[in-house]
Chain A
């Protein structure tokens, strides 16, 4: 293959792998979706109410909290990986859970990774609701509870796009899942780590096939995002 064109050959083979539903490709794709969807779910469960609380309650240092969250959008994934690795390792404080090198550990790590993003985007989604609208709601005689629920209802699409962005970040990152998951065949190997491994094994067609799928997922998220934003 040294003299052939590995890119074109790899691409053709990759398409073939996807069309024939190669079991390895399917398995890794399902696991990737499972891990990242679950992580997004848990992260949303924690981050959306917390984000709403931060928005609706006035407290000292609120500004600092919001800017910290925004800084954490860019949280380097390998650092999250490192910290979670140290926490989950057998010698770490949560070692007794034996979550290192398991899908559970990967879910926990991705959840931690995207919580700041979801929380921050929830706050800004709620802030994005027109102030006038807010005053109108209050002026129309809504109770505090009604005000809160109305604003949340108004902001739901912006919040949804935040969740989708979080999912996109979770499924496409490689640093944390490599460190915490260990890239174990049939247990913790996901799209990104499988691409890294297959490239290092010079299995370019497998890498390309998995890359196409990852791109398709990202594209799907984007389409969903623009649908949500367009309402």
Chain B
């Protein structure tokens, strides 16, 4: 009689499997949970999906979820964010696996556009990188300018000053690129001097949130974007050590993937979303984000003509022409 039980359970499993397949075929992707008020239309797969490769610093703040909620509420479209680092996100876009990127490493962005993979770059907002570290500040860098601070950190680290450690993203993300630039400005060769600098330099290979948690556990210094730090602040014992300096400006841009390079991409969906981001509505949303929760906005939207001037030097106002 026990056999009957097993046959029954086997049958039940089979039925479940078949149901699962049918659920898949009818295209009802499991639970598209939207907050009440937002339309719950699930666009037909393919046509209405916009895939965006972006940075972990944007994802970890929660801004992307908010943008998605509002934008999907107003438009019949499915925004899909893939959080990587800026370097990886741009590579994903080069392969044509996404429709646009939201990134923050101006030098890498320029390369991406010059190679012909990216078109119509628009800067959206900025905030600042900050150097955070343990409150005791064992390297004594508080109040220094960022380049000076990096020099001091290197000297303290290589001299094995107790308690001095630095955690690097190590993932070619925008924040990591910024860190490498700072080491360069401080007079060090990143590959030769820094990567071999010793145990005080910790190469995490992780996203921004993970890196902050790691630095917190190790009581180490790290470079972070202000937005992610603010959204993690209550879980960290780390304090901002340096928050001043134009070297620390952190600009976010949206760039569409060139449909001539990758005809399969959703060029119109990408342009529509970029145009929404540069619209007043998009910018206000970005600019308000975090005010209620953290007491200050996490991002400062860019407006013309400010954005066309140094240190920004980018296009932020003109909408992108919509492809036919």
Asked if B107 is an interface residue, CB under 8 A from chain A, the answer is: no
Chain B residue with minimal CB distance to A44? B17
Asked if B273 is an interface residue, CB under 8 A from chain A, the answer is: no
> What CA separation (Å) do A199 and B213 show in the bound complex?
10
> What CA separation (Å) do A195 and B9 show in the bound complex?
30
Q: Is the pair A37, B95 in contact by a Cβ cutoff of 8 Å?
A: no
Cβ < 8 Å to B, chain A residues 66-88:
none
Distance to closest chain B CB from A61 (angstroms): 33
Asked if A91 is an interface residue, CB under 8 A from chain B, the answer is: yes
Cβ < 8 Å to A, chain B residues 75-123:
78, 80-83, 95-98
- What residues of chain B lie closer than 8 Å to A95, measured between beta carbons? 96, 264
Q: Is the pair A34, B23 in contact by a Cβ cutoff of 8 Å?
A: yes
- What residues of chain B lie closer than 8 Å to A34, measured between beta carbons? 20, 23-24, 30
Q: Is the pair A202, B24 in contact by a Cβ cutoff of 8 Å?
A: no
> What CA separation (Å) do A231 and B13 show in the bound complex?
16
Asked if B60 is an interface residue, CB under 8 A from chain A, the answer is: yes
- What residues of chain A lie closer than 8 Å to B31, measured between beta carbons? 23, 26-27, 30-31
- Chain A's interface: helix, strand, loop or mixed, by majority? helix
Distance to closest chain A CB from B147 (angstroms): 29
Q: Is the pair A33, B20 in contact by a Cβ cutoff of 8 Å?
A: yes
Contact partner, B96, options A6, A31, A91, A183, Cβ 8 Å? A91
- What residues of chain A lie closer than 8 Å to B97, measured between beta carbons? 89-90, 100-101
> What CA separation (Å) do A202 and B230 show in the bound complex?
13
Q: Is the pair B82, A101 in contact by a Cβ cutoff of 8 Å?
A: yes
> What CA separation (Å) do A26 and B210 show in the bound complex?
25
Asked if A24 is an interface residue, CB under 8 A from chain B, the answer is: yes
Size of the A side of the interface (Cβ < 8 Å), in residues, is: 45
Chain B residue with minimal CB distance to A92? B95
> What CA separation (Å) do A26 and B32 show in the bound complex?
11
- What residues of chain A lie closer than 8 Å to B207, measured between beta carbons? 200
Q: Is the pair A98, B46 in contact by a Cβ cutoff of 8 Å?
A: yes
> What CA separation (Å) do A23 and B300 show in the bound complex?
32
- What residues of chain B lie closer than 8 Å to A91, measured between beta carbons? 95-96
Asked if B322 is an interface residue, CB under 8 A from chain A, the answer is: no
Chain B residue with minimal CB distance to A198? B209
Distance to closest chain A CB from B96 (angstroms): 4
Chain B residue with minimal CB distance to A31? B30
Cβ < 8 Å to A, chain B residues 16-38:
16-18, 20-21, 23-24, 29-33
> What CA separation (Å) do A157 and B6 show in the bound complex?
8
Contact partner, A227, options B9, B83, B98, Cβ 8 Å? B9
Distance to closest chain A CB from B255 (angstroms): 17
Asked if A230 is an interface residue, CB under 8 A from chain B, the answer is: yes
Q: Is the pair A1, B210 in contact by a Cβ cutoff of 8 Å?
A: no
Given contacts A41-B21, A200-B210, A30 and B30 within 8 Å (CB-CB): yes
> What CA separation (Å) do A96 and B262 show in the bound complex?
11
Asked if A140 is an interface residue, CB under 8 A from chain B, the answer is: no
Chain A residue with minimal CB distance to B52? A184
Asked if A120 is an interface residue, CB under 8 A from chain B, the answer is: no
Q: Is the pair B30, A200 in contact by a Cβ cutoff of 8 Å?
A: no
Q: Is the pair B10, A160 in contact by a Cβ cutoff of 8 Å?
A: yes
Asked if B192 is an interface residue, CB under 8 A from chain A, the answer is: no
Distance to closest chain B CB from A198 (angstroms): 10
Q: Is the pair A182, B20 in contact by a Cβ cutoff of 8 Å?
A: no
Q: Is the pair A228, B6 in contact by a Cβ cutoff of 8 Å?
A: yes
Given contacts A90-B96, A184-B81, A1 and B235 within 8 Å (CB-CB): yes
Q: Is the pair A184, B80 in contact by a Cβ cutoff of 8 Å?
A: yes
Asked if B65 is an interface residue, CB under 8 A from chain A, the answer is: yes
Cβ < 8 Å to A, chain B residues 199-215:
206-207, 209-210, 213
Distance to closest chain A CB from B103 (angstroms): 16
Asked if B219 is an interface residue, CB under 8 A from chain A, the answer is: no
0/1 per residue, B142-170, Cβ < 8 Å to A? 00000000000000000000000000000
Q: Is the pair B81, A185 in contact by a Cβ cutoff of 8 Å?
A: yes
Contact partner, B68, options A182, A185, A228, Cβ 8 Å? A185
> What CA separation (Å) do A23 and B95 show in the bound complex?
34
Q: Is the pair A2, B236 in contact by a Cβ cutoff of 8 Å?
A: yes
Asked if B3 is an interface residue, CB under 8 A from chain A, the answer is: yes
Enumerate the 7 nearest inter-chain pairs by beta-carbon distance, A residue then B residue, closest first: A27-B31, A90-B96, A182-B82, A30-B30, A41-B17, A200-B210, A23-B33
27 contacts between A and B (CB under 8 A): A1-B235, A2-B235, A24-B33, A27-B30, A27-B31, A31-B29, A38-B17, A41-B18, A90-B97, A90-B264, A91-B95, A95-B96, A96-B264, A100-B97, A103-B24, A157-B6, A184-B51, A184-B80, A184-B82, A186-B32, A186-B78, A187-B80, A197-B83, A199-B210, A200-B56, A201-B60, A228-B10
Contacts A27-B33, A30-B30 known; 18 new A-B pairs at CB < 8 A: A27-B32, A33-B20, A38-B21, A38-B24, A40-B17, A90-B96, A90-B264, A91-B95, A95-B264, A182-B80, A184-B82, A185-B81, A187-B80, A202-B209, A202-B232, A227-B5, A230-B2, A231-B2
